[in-house]
Structure 1
Amino acid sequence: MTEWGQLLPLALTIALSPLPLAGLLLMLLAPDGFKAAAGFSIGWFLGVLFSATLLALLSSLLPHDRSAGTRLLQVVVPLLLGVALIVLGIVQWHDRPERGAEVPLPRWLMALDRLTPARATLIGVGYAAFRPKNLVMAAAAGVVILGAHTDPTGILVSVGVFTALASITMLGPVLAYAFGGAAVRGRLVRLREWLVRNMPLITVLTVLVLGIFLVLAGLGEGLRQALS
């Protein structure tokens, strides 16, 4: 499987995060909340960039000779991540609230609409860079990028594109709010309500689909190596 066939699901796993997206929309739609939402989205971008760059650099310390160990990592890492996500999705499905039950939002999420832009930026950096799921995906991305490039330019370009894809769900609503007018803002209100109402199901489906995709990516890479 190509480099981006493996990197895309990793970036989407970071991007498709219902809880921080709901928090971003709460900030964005609060009175005078645009600056805080913009700070959170920029912080998210910087956090992903930091973790992806750091872990890609750490991955670059591995041998560059495409040894059997490096090739094995390209197969085993997505397989293990995929299986872990599938198991997590099954557990979350079992523990989901009953249909029609009200889904309470965490207290910290409800407080986001009162943040200053500086604090929102710091929270965005911390949430994107140090959330365990994001760190694992960034580590896997570093292994994939290492397997595709040995030159620094290629690594930096791949990290940059990966970061942009992983941040699109946080940057997109802010840009839409700023330039889309009243109609777009109304859609963002409906999106926030839909996210809050369906967050458990969205989370489960996202985890399961991406887990299956990662398993298929690992199997595809293993097949490619076996045939090459």
Structure 2
Amino acid sequence: MWSPFGHVLAEFFPLAVGVAISSTPLIAVLVIALGRSGAVRGAALVLGRFLGIVVVVGAFAAASELFVDLRGSDVALHVVTAVVGVGMMTIGVITWVKRPRGAIAGTPPKWLTSLTRVSAPNAFGLGFALATANVKELALGAGAGVVIGGSLTEPPPTIAAVALFAAIGIVTVSVPVVAVAVSGERIRPRLDRIRAALERSSRTITCVVLVLFGSVLVGNSFL
């Protein structure tokens, strides 16, 4: 039952890293953490993000298991994996082509600047939405779900794999929350510099992540 778990972990780990380095959730949690009661509201966002990742990956894992059962072969699953990978790469290229240039590129979206005043329940909802309503997040989650659902057929290892993927995916957004809770005002200038740097390069990060991990999925589909 658990024998393929290590192989599955090796396959979805790069995708989990891709989720973890997603720039938009990280910028959002940095903005929230730098505001009033930042640690509490930031923790709510992290919790919502964890749940959102679980929902996305779990849904695709369940669909993949059903797909394999209906077809009686994993050949079609490899095709689905390749299609998801190519889709991720395509989205990455489109994102790069349509990226803002000049002064506009360094201007953060208005919804980000308003997060300093967001409530904890709304921060939770935002974390959930960033994991379930973002094209890049859905693509990475779909890839992981296909890998997990296509290789693990029993509920315990499948649930463990989905939870582990989500846990890896929230590592980076958890760090600023813990830093603010532990260090308070001393860490704020450093976090503010990181936030500004991420805002300037968020589109580039998104493009690289999608193309890189999309190619990983395409490569895995031929193994």
TM over 0.5: yes
Determine which of 1, 8, 11 is the counterpart of 1:3: 8
| Number of residue pairs aligned between Structure 1 and Structure 2 | 218
1:188 deviation in Å?
1.8
Report Cα offsets for 1:64-121 as digits up to 9, x if no partner. 59932x3331x22332222222222222222333366652221111111111111111
Give matches, 1:151-166, under 5 Å: 151-166=154-169
Q: Distance in 2 between matches of 1:177 and 1:34?
A: 6
SS of the residue aligned with 1:31? coil
**Offset of 1:28 from its aligned partner?**
0.5
In structure 1, give the amino acid aligned to 2:171.
I
Question: 2:39, 2:178 within 8 Å by CA — same for their partners in 1?
Answer: no
Contact 1:18 1:195 in 2 (8 A): yes
Q: Secondary structure at the match of 2:174?
A: helix
**What corresponds to 1:225 in structure 2?**
none
TM-score, normalised to structure 1, is 0.82
Question: What does the per-residue CA deviation read over 1:2-47, in whole Å, with 9 as the maximum and x for residues that have no partner?
Answer: 3223212322332222122111101111233322211111111111
Cα distance change on mapping 1:2 and 1:209 into 2, 3 Å: same
Over the aligned positions, Cα root-mean-square deviation in angstroms equals 2.6
Are residue 37 (structure 1) and residue 42 (structure 2) matched? Answer: yes
Matches of 2:41 and 2:190, distance apart in 1: 20
Partners of 1:107 and 1:130 in 2: CA distance? 18
C-alpha distance 59-79 of structure 1, shift in aligned 2 (>3 A): closer
| Residue of structure 2 aligned with 1:97, choices 78, 96, 100 | 100
Secondary structure of 1:20's match?
A: helix
Matching residue of 1:206? 209
Distance 1:127 1:96, change over 3 A: closer
Alpha-carbon distance, 1:208 to partner: 2.1
Structure 1 residue ranges without an equivalent (≥5) = 222-228
Partner SS for 1:30: coil
SS in 2 for 1:2: helix
Letter paired with 2:27? A
